[in-house]
Structure 1
Amino acid sequence: MIDPKKIEEIAKQISQSMPQGVKNIAETVENKTKQVLQNKLSQMDFVSREEFDIQTQVLIRTREKLTALEEKVTQLEALLSENK
Protein backbone atom coordinates (compact mmCIF):
# COMPACT_ATOMS: atom_id res chain seq x y z
CA MET A 1 0.00 0.00 0.00
CA ILE A 2 1.24 3.47 -0.86
CA ASP A 3 1.87 5.82 2.03
CA PRO A 4 -0.78 8.59 2.10
CA LYS A 5 1.91 11.14 3.00
CA LYS A 6 3.82 10.17 -0.11
CA ILE A 7 0.71 10.64 -2.27
CA GLU A 8 0.12 14.05 -0.69
CA GLU A 9 3.74 15.01 -1.34
CA ILE A 10 3.48 13.96 -5.01
CA ALA A 11 0.21 15.89 -5.43
CA LYS A 12 1.80 18.96 -3.89
CA GLN A 13 4.78 18.72 -6.27
CA ILE A 14 2.45 18.40 -9.27
CA SER A 15 0.38 21.34 -8.07
CA GLN A 16 3.47 23.51 -7.61
CA SER A 17 4.73 22.71 -11.11
CA MET A 18 1.46 23.72 -12.81
CA PRO A 19 1.21 27.07 -14.60
CA GLN A 20 -0.62 29.78 -12.66
CA GLY A 21 -3.54 29.85 -15.13
CA VAL A 22 -4.22 26.16 -14.59
CA LYS A 23 -4.02 26.65 -10.82
CA ASN A 24 -6.57 29.48 -11.03
CA ILE A 25 -8.96 27.35 -13.08
CA ALA A 26 -8.53 24.46 -10.66
CA GLU A 27 -9.25 26.74 -7.69
CA THR A 28 -12.32 28.18 -9.41
CA VAL A 29 -13.65 24.70 -10.22
CA GLU A 30 -12.97 23.54 -6.66
CA ASN A 31 -14.72 26.56 -5.15
CA LYS A 32 -17.74 26.22 -7.45
CA THR A 33 -17.93 22.49 -6.71
CA LYS A 34 -17.84 23.17 -2.98
CA GLN A 35 -20.61 25.77 -3.34
CA VAL A 36 -22.85 23.42 -5.32
CA LEU A 37 -22.26 20.56 -2.89
CA GLN A 38 -22.92 22.76 0.13
CA ASN A 39 -26.13 24.10 -1.43
CA LYS A 40 -27.39 20.63 -2.32
CA LEU A 41 -26.43 19.14 1.05
CA SER A 42 -28.14 21.99 2.90
CA GLN A 43 -31.36 21.17 1.01
CA MET A 44 -31.22 17.58 2.23
CA ASP A 45 -32.49 16.47 5.61
CA PHE A 46 -29.21 15.45 7.24
CA VAL A 47 -28.28 15.59 10.90
CA SER A 48 -24.88 16.30 12.35
CA ARG A 49 -22.78 13.49 13.76
CA GLU A 50 -23.15 15.05 17.21
CA GLU A 51 -26.94 15.06 16.95
CA PHE A 52 -26.91 11.47 15.67
CA ASP A 53 -24.74 10.36 18.62
CA ILE A 54 -27.04 12.15 21.08
CA GLN A 55 -30.12 10.49 19.61
CA THR A 56 -28.35 7.12 19.70
CA GLN A 57 -27.77 7.55 23.43
CA VAL A 58 -31.40 8.58 23.94
CA LEU A 59 -32.52 5.47 22.08
CA ILE A 60 -30.25 3.24 24.19
CA ARG A 61 -31.67 4.70 27.43
CA THR A 62 -35.22 4.33 26.09
CA ARG A 63 -34.61 0.67 25.24
CA GLU A 64 -33.18 0.07 28.71
CA LYS A 65 -36.28 1.64 30.29
CA LEU A 66 -38.57 -0.38 28.02
CA THR A 67 -36.80 -3.61 28.96
CA ALA A 68 -37.13 -2.77 32.66
CA LEU A 69 -40.84 -1.98 32.24
CA GLU A 70 -41.42 -5.23 30.33
CA GLU A 71 -39.79 -7.15 33.19
CA LYS A 72 -42.01 -5.37 35.74
CA VAL A 73 -45.13 -6.13 33.72
CA THR A 74 -44.11 -9.79 33.49
CA GLN A 75 -43.57 -9.88 37.27
CA LEU A 76 -46.92 -8.20 37.93
CA GLU A 77 -48.72 -10.57 35.58
CA ALA A 78 -47.11 -13.54 37.34
CA LEU A 79 -48.12 -12.10 40.72
CA LEU A 80 -51.70 -11.57 39.54
CA SER A 81 -51.95 -15.09 38.17
CA GLU A 82 -50.67 -16.51 41.48
CA ASN A 83 -53.32 -14.55 43.44
CA LYS A 84 -56.23 -15.86 41.33
Structure 2
Amino acid sequence: MTGRQDIDQIATRLVSLVPPGLADAHKDLRANFRDILAQGLRHLELVTREEFDVQTQVLARTRARVEELERRVAELEAGVSPRGA
Protein backbone atom coordinates (compact mmCIF):
# COMPACT_ATOMS: atom_id res chain seq x y z
CA MET A 1 0.00 0.00 0.00
CA THR A 2 1.16 3.52 -0.62
CA GLY A 3 2.67 4.97 2.54
CA ARG A 4 2.50 8.44 3.98
CA GLN A 5 5.91 9.27 2.51
CA ASP A 6 4.75 8.28 -0.97
CA ILE A 7 1.67 10.45 -0.61
CA ASP A 8 3.86 13.39 0.48
CA GLN A 9 6.07 12.91 -2.59
CA ILE A 10 3.07 12.88 -4.93
CA ALA A 11 1.64 15.98 -3.26
CA THR A 12 5.00 17.74 -3.64
CA ARG A 13 5.08 16.83 -7.34
CA LEU A 14 1.59 18.19 -7.83
CA VAL A 15 2.52 21.44 -6.08
CA SER A 16 5.57 21.79 -8.34
CA LEU A 17 3.16 21.95 -11.29
CA VAL A 18 1.42 25.01 -9.84
CA PRO A 19 2.47 28.26 -11.57
CA PRO A 20 5.13 30.28 -9.70
CA GLY A 21 2.72 33.19 -9.26
CA LEU A 22 0.86 31.08 -6.71
CA ALA A 23 3.94 30.40 -4.59
CA ASP A 24 2.18 31.66 -1.47
CA ALA A 25 -0.44 28.95 -1.90
CA HIS A 26 2.09 26.10 -2.26
CA LYS A 27 2.03 25.13 1.43
CA ASP A 28 -1.77 25.04 1.53
CA LEU A 29 -2.00 23.24 -1.80
CA ARG A 30 0.52 20.64 -0.68
CA ALA A 31 -1.48 19.93 2.48
CA ASN A 32 -4.73 19.77 0.51
CA PHE A 33 -3.26 17.49 -2.16
CA ARG A 34 -1.84 15.20 0.53
CA ASP A 35 -5.18 14.96 2.36
CA ILE A 36 -7.15 14.34 -0.83
CA LEU A 37 -4.73 11.64 -1.99
CA ALA A 38 -4.77 9.90 1.39
CA GLN A 39 -8.56 10.00 1.53
CA GLY A 40 -8.88 8.65 -2.00
CA LEU A 41 -6.48 5.78 -1.32
CA ARG A 42 -8.35 4.79 1.85
CA HIS A 43 -11.50 4.29 -0.21
CA LEU A 44 -9.78 1.90 -2.63
CA GLU A 45 -9.74 -0.96 -0.09
CA LEU A 46 -6.12 -1.85 -0.90
CA VAL A 47 -4.22 -4.62 0.84
CA THR A 48 -0.57 -4.83 1.72
CA ARG A 49 1.76 -7.09 -0.22
CA GLU A 50 2.12 -9.23 2.90
CA GLU A 51 -1.66 -9.72 3.14
CA PHE A 52 -1.79 -10.56 -0.56
CA ASP A 53 1.00 -13.13 -0.23
CA VAL A 54 -0.68 -14.77 2.78
CA GLN A 55 -3.98 -15.07 0.91
CA THR A 56 -2.16 -16.48 -2.14
CA GLN A 57 -0.69 -19.21 0.08
CA VAL A 58 -4.08 -19.94 1.64
CA LEU A 59 -5.61 -20.23 -1.83
CA ALA A 60 -2.85 -22.59 -3.00
CA ARG A 61 -3.39 -24.85 0.04
CA THR A 62 -7.15 -24.77 -0.50
CA ARG A 63 -6.79 -25.69 -4.17
CA ALA A 64 -4.49 -28.58 -3.28
CA ARG A 65 -6.98 -29.81 -0.68
CA VAL A 66 -9.91 -29.56 -3.12
CA GLU A 67 -7.95 -31.50 -5.76
CA GLU A 68 -7.12 -34.20 -3.20
CA LEU A 69 -10.77 -34.46 -2.13
CA GLU A 70 -11.92 -34.61 -5.76
CA ARG A 71 -9.46 -37.45 -6.35
CA ARG A 72 -10.73 -39.33 -3.30
CA VAL A 73 -14.37 -38.88 -4.32
CA ALA A 74 -13.56 -40.17 -7.81
CA GLU A 75 -11.89 -43.24 -6.29
CA LEU A 76 -14.86 -43.88 -4.03
CA GLU A 77 -17.32 -43.44 -6.88
CA ALA A 78 -15.31 -45.86 -9.01
CA GLY A 79 -15.49 -48.47 -6.23
CA VAL A 80 -19.27 -48.23 -5.79
CA SER A 81 -21.32 -50.64 -7.91
CA PRO A 82 -24.28 -49.17 -9.76
CA ARG A 83 -27.62 -49.50 -7.93
CA GLY A 84 -30.14 -51.98 -9.18
CA ALA A 85 -27.53 -54.10 -10.93
Give me the TM-score of the superposition, normalised by structure 1.
0.58
Aligned-pair CA distance for 1:40: 1.3
Instruction: Give 1 or 2: higher helix fraction.
Output: 1
C-alpha distance in structure 1 between counterparts of 2:68 and 2:30, whole Å: 53
Q: For residues 47-81 of structure 1, what are the alpha-carbon distances to aligned partners after superposition, in whole Å with 9 as ceiling and x for unaligned?
A: 22211111111011000000000000000111113
Structure 1's unaligned 5+ residue stretches are: 1-18
Q: Which runs of 4+ in 1 moved over 4 A?
A: none
**CA 1:80–1:42 in structure 2 vs 1: closer, same or farther (change >3 Å)?**
same
Aligned residues: 64
Partner in structure 1 of residue 45 of structure 2: 45
Counterpart residue number, 2:58 = 58
Gaps of 5+ in 2: 1-19
| Map of 2:36 onto structure 1 | 36
Identity percentage of aligned residues: 39
The structure whose RCO (Cα within 8 Å, separation 6+) is larger is: 2
